[in-house]
């Protein structure tokens, strides 16, 4: 493990920085990526050296609609330029595949890879790794990095970083939210971020078509052996013209059932693969199930993508969940 | 308007206090009622006078299942004892009918009625009224009252008051949540309240039958003229054996649709009356519609109960909403 002081010192003297976040980006992926860029720019400005510096944020998958309002989001590229780079920073990703095709370490020459992450499953695949599983979001680590860089957090950085904090804690609802986390949120609000705008545009954003999709999925929701689970087929999605990805937060609703120890939603993708989101109550670790299926995540929130068809995926995964929930 | 100092001084020297909260109690009704009791008990103890004092919390309707874990909730009576009382305190209610049958001012003799509330629509129907519409919850006012009483907030009070704060802000998601509100939440956590327990047991509590009820209601959800609306019939509720009241938070989901300026859920009650919950985006004031139908609330969250049958209620109310959303 490296320290944020080492990483800050490396970043301060770098001229060309590429930053990457993970595939299927969520609020913390984009929020920490953009927040990092704003913090780095402030550090460069403080050093009187902003003019000749280059920062490129990249993410293999498109920025989701509800995050496109974040300042700087239109700068995110989906193909990383060739370089050369002085430093490549990977945010919020526990391993190299999670960064997707924008991560090409063979082409980085002597440029060190710096990893900033809060996933306990992080493989520390960089030259410098700062992994803090006590942070509720990678965005919280970027706040600490700003302190290590001794730069104030401006309103743009604050908005991006509060988005990471809010989305990864589902609006301060996860068990890891301490008073110190609320203090970070207060600080970001005082730096110019609007909490109600962040929650309104992310957690409280659910297109009408997604509400209809929930209706279709909940019509056949199951509760078996302590597992609440539902299925979203490609046909359902087409019927209500819902956005192309994910379950729109349905799995987080299923775990609210007090009867459920574990929740899962099986989402059939257009290519026939099946994306599965898992949630669990404390005491039940779904990250292990996700890991065993080639995915990852946190003990209480994880996911994976496995081959279809749907029925095969259910037959393969449900017994694992039933056993875990016992 | 009275000051909290006046109210604190009155309470400190009172020997018999009856406290009332509103019908169809929510997290702030019960949280502020119980939190008030714990704060008052601390004030009496600090005065070395707890032994001969009587505090009775009352609410005309039963405490909802997800609030029965709150410390003191089993002390809440549904019929107020006859008295005599030194003071009667009404919490979180904008007018006398909202307190229901437990409020019997004709029987209070010279005992003053004290009103503590955060609803801007409060009619100030007490002898002493403290109404602070800038407070996000009546629970926040009780925190201020504890300061006026100069007593520390213990873990029981903190748990009850954080519940009021969290439920009335939907988990810090409403537009009125300032850094100061997060500071109050931090203070309550530091006083012994568990934020994850509070959110887990209230906001994130949704019986499996309610998820199924959502499925039935969302199967026929409508979006018309900027109004997202749905219906829960008595028959639907019976079909999934859902709890007897309310929409289980569905209306708060409907307003998440970016296409909707206003959301409404019509709930058919067993007696044929129709309970309607309204939500709106800032700029659209549903409290006026609710008031005109004999209900009340806040600009962005209000409700009323009107005669059925369902179709009549829809015919009467929907045009008002369509006009408001225009």
- Which pLDDT score is estimated for B245? 75
Cβ A202 vs Cβ A67: under 8 Å? yes
Q: Which residues of B touch A207 (CB under 8 A)?
A: 257-259
CA angle (B259 as vertex; B256, B261 as ends), nearest 5: 75
Q: How far is A189 from chain B (nearest CA, A)?
A: 6
Q: Which residues of B touch A239 (CB under 8 A)?
A: none
Q: Which fold has domain A4-201?
A: inorganic pyrophosphatase (n-terminal core) (3.90.1640)
3-class secondary structure, B298 = strand
Q: Is A277's pLDDT higher than 90? A: yes
From residue A276, give the alpha-carbon distance in Å to each of A23, A309, A317.
Answer: 15, 13, 9
Q: Token match 């013209």: residue?
A: A241
Cβ B19 vs Cβ B33: under 8 Å? yes
Closest chain A residue to the Cα of B192, Cα to Cα: A179
Whether residue A256 and residue B206 make contact (CB cut-off 8 A), yes or no, is yes
Higher pLDDT, A82 or B160: B160
CA atoms of B146 and B205, how far apart (whole Å): 29
Which of B258, B265, B284 to mutate to probe the A interface, most A CBs <10 Å? B258
B248 band by pLDDT with thresholds 50, 70 and 90: confident
B143-163 burial, b for 16+ CB within 10 Å, e for fewer?
bbbbebbebebbebbbbbbbb
- Which pLDDT score is estimated for A272? 93
Q: Which residues of A touch B228 (CB under 8 A)?
A: 208, 211
Is B208-325 a domain of CATH 3.40.50.620?
A: no
Q: Which distant-in-sequence residues (6+ apart) come within 8 Å of B3 by Cβ?
A: B130, B148
The number of beta carbons lying within 10 Å of the beta carbon of residue A244 is 9
Closest of A267, A272, A210 to residue A239, by C-alpha: A210
Cβ A114 vs Cβ A10: under 8 Å? yes
Over the stretch A67-78, which tens digit does the pLDDT of each residue have? 999 999 999 999
Cβ B169 vs Cβ A182: under 8 Å? no
Q: Is A49's pLDDT higher than 90? A: no
Whether residue B173 and residue A178 make contact (CB cut-off 8 A), yes or no, is no
Q: What is the pTM of this model?
A: 0.90
- Which pLDDT score is estimated for B1? 86
CA atoms of A148 and A116, how far apart (whole Å): 13
- Which pLDDT score is estimated for A295? 87
A24-42 burial, b for 16+ CB within 10 Å, e for fewer?
bbbbbbbbbbbbbbbbbbb
CA atoms of A36 and A139, how far apart (whole Å): 8
Question: With the C-alpha atoms ordered B292, B294, B298, B301, is the resulting torsion angle positive or negative?
Answer: negative
Q: Is A297's pLDDT higher than 90? A: no
Whether residue B172 and residue A178 make contact (CB cut-off 8 A), yes or no, is no
Q: Is A200's pLDDT higher than 80? A: yes
Output phi, psi for B58, to 5 deg. Answer: -135, 150
| Mean pLDDT of the region B114-118 | 97
Whether residue A204 and residue B255 make contact (CB cut-off 8 A), yes or no, is yes
B49 band by pLDDT with thresholds 50, 70 and 90: confident
Q: Output the six-digit token pair for B235.
A: 């028959």
The number of beta carbons lying within 10 Å of the beta carbon of residue B311 is 11
Whether residue A172 and residue B199 make contact (CB cut-off 8 A), yes or no, is yes
Q: Of the segments A45-49, B78-82, B147-151, which one has the largest average pLDDT value? A: B147-151
CA atoms of A92 and A74, how far apart (whole Å): 20
Q: Output the six-digit token pair for B144.
A: 């201020």
Q: Do the bridges between strand B262-268 and strand B274-280 make them parallel or antiparallel, or are there none, so unpaired?
A: antiparallel
Q: Which distant-in-sequence residues (6+ apart) come within 8 Å of B110 by Cβ?
A: none
CA angle (A179 as vertex; A178, A185 as ends), nearest 5: 100
Q: Which residues of B touch A183 (CB under 8 A)?
A: 182, 186
Closest of A108, A113, A93 to residue A11, by C-alpha: A113
Which of A166, A218, A224, A240 to mutate to probe the B interface, most B CBs <10 Å? A218
| Residue A117 parent element (H or E) | strand A113-117
Whether residue A185 and residue B182 make contact (CB cut-off 8 A), yes or no, is yes
HEC per residue, A222-286: EEECCEEEEEECHHHHHHHCCCCCCCCCHHHHHCCCCCCCEEEEEEECCCCCEEEEEEECCCCCH
Whether residue B218 and residue A212 make contact (CB cut-off 8 A), yes or no, is yes
- Which pLDDT score is estimated for B83? 84
Cβ B189 vs Cβ B195: under 8 Å? yes
Q: Which residues of A touch B172 (CB under 8 A)?
A: 171-172, 195, 199
Whether residue A253 and residue B223 make contact (CB cut-off 8 A), yes or no, is no
A283 band by pLDDT with thresholds 50, 70 and 90: very high
Q: How far is B166 from chain A (nearest CA, A)?
A: 10
Least CB–CB distance from A208: residue in B179, B208, B259: B259
CA atoms of A111 and A35, how far apart (whole Å): 22
Say whether A208-325 and A4-201 share the same fold.
no
Phi-psi region of B171 (alpha: psi -120 to 50; beta: other; left: phi over 0): left
Whether residue A207 and residue B259 make contact (CB cut-off 8 A), yes or no, is yes
Whether residue A175 and residue B196 make contact (CB cut-off 8 A), yes or no, is yes
Whether residue A215 and residue B219 make contact (CB cut-off 8 A), yes or no, is yes
B308 band by pLDDT with thresholds 50, 70 and 90: very high
Report percent pLDDT > 70 for chain A. Answer: 100
Least CB–CB distance from A223: residue in B190, B208, B254: B208
A97 band by pLDDT with thresholds 50, 70 and 90: very high
- Which pLDDT score is estimated for A248? 85
Q: How far is A35 from chain B (nearest CA, A)?
A: 20
Whether residue A215 and residue B211 make contact (CB cut-off 8 A), yes or no, is no
| Mean pLDDT of the region A76-90 | 95
Q: Token match 């860089």: residue?
A: A149
The residue count for chain B: 326
Least CB–CB distance from B218: residue in A183, A215, A259: A215
Closest chain A residue to the Cα of B204, Cα to Cα: A256
Report percent pLDDT > 70 for chain B. Answer: 100
Whether residue A211 and residue B254 make contact (CB cut-off 8 A), yes or no, is yes
Chain B residues interacting with chain A (CB cutoff of 8 angstroms): 171-179, 182-183, 185-186, 189-190, 195-196, 199-200, 203-208, 211-212, 214-221, 223, 228, 253-260
Q: Is B306's pLDDT higher than 90? A: yes
Whether residue A215 and residue B228 make contact (CB cut-off 8 A), yes or no, is no
Whether residue B256 and residue A177 make contact (CB cut-off 8 A), yes or no, is no
Q: Which residues of A touch B221 (CB under 8 A)?
A: 208, 211-212, 215
Q: Which residues of A touch B174 (CB under 8 A)?
A: 196
- Which pLDDT score is estimated for A83? 85
A245 band by pLDDT with thresholds 50, 70 and 90: confident
Q: What is the ipTM of this complex?
A: 0.88
- Which pLDDT score is estimated for B194? 97
CA atoms of B234 and B40, how far apart (whole Å): 41
Output phi, psi for B163, to 5 deg. Answer: -60, -45
Closest chain B residue to the Cα of A203, Cα to Cα: B256
Domain ranges of chain A: 4-201, 208-325
**Average pLDDT of chain A, as a whole number:** 95
Report which DSSP code applies to A315.
H
Q: Maximum distance among all alpha carbons in chain B?
A: 61
CA angle (B207 as vertex; B164, A310 as ends), nearest 5: 130
Q: Is B50's pLDDT higher than 80? A: no
Cβ A237 vs Cβ A216: under 8 Å? no
Q: How far is B319 from chain A (nearest CA, A)?
A: 21
The residue count for chain A: 326
Q: Is A50's pLDDT higher than 80? A: no
Q: Which residues of A touch B212 (CB under 8 A)?
A: 218, 221
Q: How far is B316 from chain A (nearest CA, A)?
A: 24
Whether residue B221 and residue A228 make contact (CB cut-off 8 A), yes or no, is no
Q: Is B56's pLDDT higher than 90? A: yes
A vs B: CB pairs below 8 A: 122
Own/partner pairs, A279-286, CB within 8 angstroms, 24+ separation: A279/A251, A279/A252, A279/A254, A279/A255, A280/A255, A280/A324, A281/A255, A282/A175, A284/A324, A284/A325, A285/A324, A286/A262, A286/A321, A286/A324
Closest chain B residue to the Cα of A263, Cα to Cα: B208
| Residue A33 parent element (H or E) | helix A27-46
- Which pLDDT score is estimated for B296? 82
Cβ A106 vs Cβ A23: under 8 Å? no
Q: Which residues of A touch B256 (CB under 8 A)?
A: 204-206, 211
Residue ranges with strand state E in chain B:
16-21, 54-59, 87-91, 113-117, 128-131, 222-224, 227-232, 262-268, 274-280, 296-298, 301-306
């Amino acid at each position: 493990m490296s320290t944020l002081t080492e990483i800050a010192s490396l970043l301060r003297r770098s001229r060309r920085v590429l930053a990457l976040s993970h595939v299927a980006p969520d609020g913390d992926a984009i929020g920490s990526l953009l927040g990092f860029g704003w913090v780095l720019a402030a550090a460069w400005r403080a050093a009187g050296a902003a003019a000749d510096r280059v920062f490129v944020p990249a993410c293999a998958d498109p920025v989701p609609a509800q995050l496109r309002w974040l300042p700087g989001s239109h700068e995110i590229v989906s193909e990383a330029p060739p370089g050369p780079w002085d430093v490549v920073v990977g945010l919020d990703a526990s391993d190299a595949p999670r960064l997707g095709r924008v991560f090409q370490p063979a082409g980085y020459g002597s440029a060190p890879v710096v990893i900033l992450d809060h996933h306990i499953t992080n493989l520390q695949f960089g030259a410098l790794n700062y992994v803090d599983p006590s942070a509720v979001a990678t965005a919280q680590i970027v706040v600490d990095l700003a302190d290590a860089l001794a730069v104030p957090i401006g309103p743009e950085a604050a908005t991006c970083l509060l988005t990471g904090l809010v989305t990864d804690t589902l609006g301060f609802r996860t068990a890891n939210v301490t008073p110190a986390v609320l203090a970070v949120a207060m600080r970001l609000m005082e730096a110019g971020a609007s909490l109600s705008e962040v929650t309104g545009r992310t957690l409280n954003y659910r297109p009408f078509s997604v509400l209809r999709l929930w209706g279709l999925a909940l019509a056949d929701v199951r509760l078996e052996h302590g597992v609440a689970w539902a299925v979203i087929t490609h046909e359902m999605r087409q019927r209500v013209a819902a956005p192309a990805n994910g379950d729109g937060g349905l799995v987080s609703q299923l775990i609210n059932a007090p009867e459920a120890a574990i929740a899962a939603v099986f989402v059939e993708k257009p290519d026939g693969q099946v994306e599965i989101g898992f949630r669990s109550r404390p005491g039940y670790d779904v990250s292990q199930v996700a890991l065993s299926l080639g995915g990852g995540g946190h003990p209480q929130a994880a996911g994976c993508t496995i081959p279809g068809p749907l029925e095969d995926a259910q037959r393969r995964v449900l017994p694992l969940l039933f056993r875990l929930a016992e």
